[in-house]
Structures are given as structure tokens and as C-alpha cells.
Structure 1
Amino acid sequence: MARPNFIELPTRDLASSQVFFEQVFGMKMTGFGPTYACTLTGDVDIGLQADQAEVTLAPLPVIDVNDLEATLAAVTAAGAPVTKAIFSFPGGRRFHFRDPSGNELAAMQADPA
């Protein structure tokens, strides 16, 4: 069953955002290059996106799915616009879309491991 598993937050200053979440909430952040860090709890994780070419305008809920291509087909059949085609990242693949209210979300499928 699909479920939210990630919330990606836009940030202008990755280092200060990491310190904030670590100090205030005790969240250990793992860095993935100079513009991205996230928690890796295996539950609902928080990602910090500082790459201004990749950042979204608002928090990005990410929904974990079993079949990314089937989800893409269902999203497009429902008339939802795809805002970012399927792409790979460390740990899986995902795409972005807008729901009927205009909210941007992502669907992701984790790499089998």
C-alpha cells in the first residue's frame, strides 16, 4: 500500500538547517553532497534540499509506491500534470506531479535492497 514516507523541505542554507533539526529535534542528518541532507530512519524522513535548481516552492510530500510506472500511468490518467519526469537518485527513482488543488507531490519507488 502506498504511504507518505518522506517530506522534502526547501532550504537556502543547508548547514544552518541541519544544525537546527539536529539541535532542536535530535534528528541525525546524512549529507548527500553539498546541497542535500536527510534523516534515514526508515519511517517518515525529512530531506533538506538546498540546490536552487531542484528546490520546490513548498514542502514536498513523497509517497512510497510499489510500482512507479503504474503510479505514473494512474496519475496521468487522472489528469494530474507531471511536473518532473521519472529520475533516479541515491536509493530509488521518483517523479513529481500536482494534485487537483495544485499541490506538488512526488511518488517514489525505492531500489530493491
Structure 2
Amino acid sequence: MQKLKREQIQYIEFLSADVNKAKDFYTKCFGWKFTDYSPNYTAFEGEYVDGGFTTGKPINGTILVILYSADLEATRDKVLAAGGKIVKDIFSFPGGRRFQFTDPDDYELAVWSE
């Protein structure tokens, strides 16, 4: 894990109806590596943030996690191929472009690029 900076996100924990399905989805889309700690909990390590998935009923709309991609179109294609649904297709905003999608647990996330 990198040295923590002041006021940065350190860890994100998702509720998932099916932890294995979540692992498969995020491995296919983003290449995340997982460590299972129990049948009901798995953790992932990222370059800038770590997190985990635990069994529970997902609640949509409480937070929008935004991921980065150097190739936005390729990432969108991987999200679709893995079973994600595009909520807002690629659009421009000050500073870059992004799209928003839902994962198999119906969480809405975004991916941005310069």
C-alpha cells in the first residue's frame, strides 16, 4: 500500500449479493486481484485505494465511486462484455470524459479519463 496522504480515500467496502460474481466482474473489467478472508468477504488491493466486498443487500445511490482508465472506450467495452450496463455513455466534463455503469449488484460507478 502506498503512503497515505491527508484526506484521501483509503478503503472502499461494497455490499454484494454474490461475492464471487463481484470478484469475477471486477477481475474481468479492471484486473483487480482478490484475497478471500471467508466465504462472505474478499478484499482487493489497488494502486491508489484498497477495498473489499462483503455479503449483504446492496443499496444503490449512496456513493458514486469513480475509477480511472487510460483507454475509456476499451474499459467501456470490457464493462459491457462482463455484464455491466451503461447508465450514461461517454460524455465530456471539465477536465476529461467519463461514463457511468451499473455492476451485477446494481451499484452505479463511473470511469473517467483525460
Specify the TM-score bucket, using the shorter chain as the normaliser.
Answer: 0.3 to 0.5
State the TM-score, normalized to the length of structure 1: 0.47
